[in-house]
Structure formats: structure tokens, C-alpha cells
Structure 1
Amino acid sequence: MEEVENGYFAQKIFDYLSVNNPDLLSDPAILSDLTKSCIDKFIALDISGVNVLEATQISLRETLDDIASPYSYLKSFLDSNADSVQRESGIRIPDSPSEIYAAALKNKQEIANYVAAIETSNTDLIRKQAKSLAIALLLSRKDS
């Protein structure tokens, strides 16, 4: 299974690099590292319960986005200097992508809960306002 995923991811990343960053193909380790990163993301998503097709798409999209963004340079720096960063800042850098994705999924769920609570509160508020307006309208008709 991993060979199939590795081949699929490696080919997709190679195709992207061929068009957008051919200079990165001069070092085979770069393609290997990007493929490993993509597979790690896929495995973390799969373990987190994300649908296999969706996990494949997300991990590939995020890997290709990382290639195109300055974030990848920052991530490389943090990875190569993790001990120094942790020692100087006191910030613990997660050991594995599965920790990051687990936290992201938890945060996503918490945000969804907040949004649902806000929507419920807004609905209740509108319902109470409508009731108050209806009472005010009835009272104004009664006075007339």
C-alpha cells in the first residue's frame, strides 16, 4: 500500500515541480523529503478518521501549497533548529504530523461548536425580538 501511495504522491509532486520549480528536481532528496512529508500528512489524516480520498487530496494539496509558500522555508528552518527554538522560546514543537492534525481537528470542532452556539443565540434573539414587536403591535392596535 505504501509503495502505491508513495508512487502516486511522488509522481504528482514530481509533475508539479517539473512545471513550477524545476530547479528543485536537481536534488533527489528534495523530492524524497516532499513525498515523505505528503505521506506523513496522509497517514495522520487517515488515522484521524478522514476519508481516504479526502485525505489524499488534502495531503497532496497542502504539500504543493507548502512548496509554493514561504511557510515551507520557515518550517525547514524550525525543523533544523528545533532544539534551539524550544530552548530559547519554551515553545514545544510537535514531534509528529499526527499531533498537529489532531490539534487542528480539535480546533476545527471547537470552532464549529462556537459557530453553532452563535447561530442558536442569534435565532433565539431574533425570535424574542419578533415576539416583542408582535406584542408592541398588538398593544398599539388595542390603544387605537
Structure 2
Amino acid sequence: MTDRTPGEPTGLDIALQWAELPPEHLKAALQALEPELARRHEMRMLQARLEAQGAEDRRSHLLYLSGLVGGFLIVVAMLTASVIVGINGLPWLSAMLAGPSVLSLAGLFVLRRVDSGTARQVARAHDAALGAAQPTPGAGVV
């Protein structure tokens, strides 16, 4: 990647032309050339940083999108399995599949974080759903 147009002399060309003159002139030419070279270097470094940031943004977007799709697929699969299992007469397993664990897994895949407070609430709701799905002892005895 070059910043010069065709036909524009390079720094070496300029230095060779000035080498034919006394050393004071060469020193003056190099001092005048130094700020231009510094600006070009800064521009190249800025372009490289922008390209790296763009690549990082694309990777981050792809990771977020894949988490969103993965979370959606897991939630749909768990809800479908819950309906199938519930129809087949296993309400406790249906409650486990359609209960708070769906929200927990969706939060894990989509938001990419689960804090301990949320995990405790999910566990309590899961226990309550299992307790409600299980028949109480002696309920069938008359």
C-alpha cells in the first residue's frame, strides 16, 4: 500500500538529488521531508487501526448473531419437546423442559451472561414447577 501517485519522487529519489549539493542543503531537505513522512506514517497507522476495528466489529456481530440463532433454536426445541412429552403423559418432564430452564438457556445464549441471582430464581421456579407437576401422596385414595 503506497500513498504516492505514479511519477511522484520517493524519499530516496529526493535524497539522491540533494546529495549532489552541499551537506547543509541535504540536512535542510531531510528536515523538511521529516514532517511529511511522519504524517504519512500516522495516516497508515490510523488506517490499520480502523481496519482492525472493523474486523473486530464483524467478529463481534457474527458472535452475537450466532448466539441469537442458537438460543432461538434451543428454546424452540425445548418447547417442542415439552409439548411432545406432555402429550405422552409425562408432565414433570414437560415442566422441566418448558419451565424456567428455557429462560435460563435463552439468557445464556443470547445475553451471554447469567448472574447468580437469576440462577437462584430459576432454580426456585424449577423446583416449584416440579412440585406442581408431581401428584401429592394419598390424593388418589378415597
TM norm. shorter chain > 0.5: no
Larger Rg: 2
Question: Higher relative CO (CA 8 A, sep ≥ 6), structure 1 or 2?
Answer: 1
More helix per residue: 1 or 2? 1
Q: TM-score, normalising length from structure 2?
A: 0.36
TM-score (norm 1): 0.36
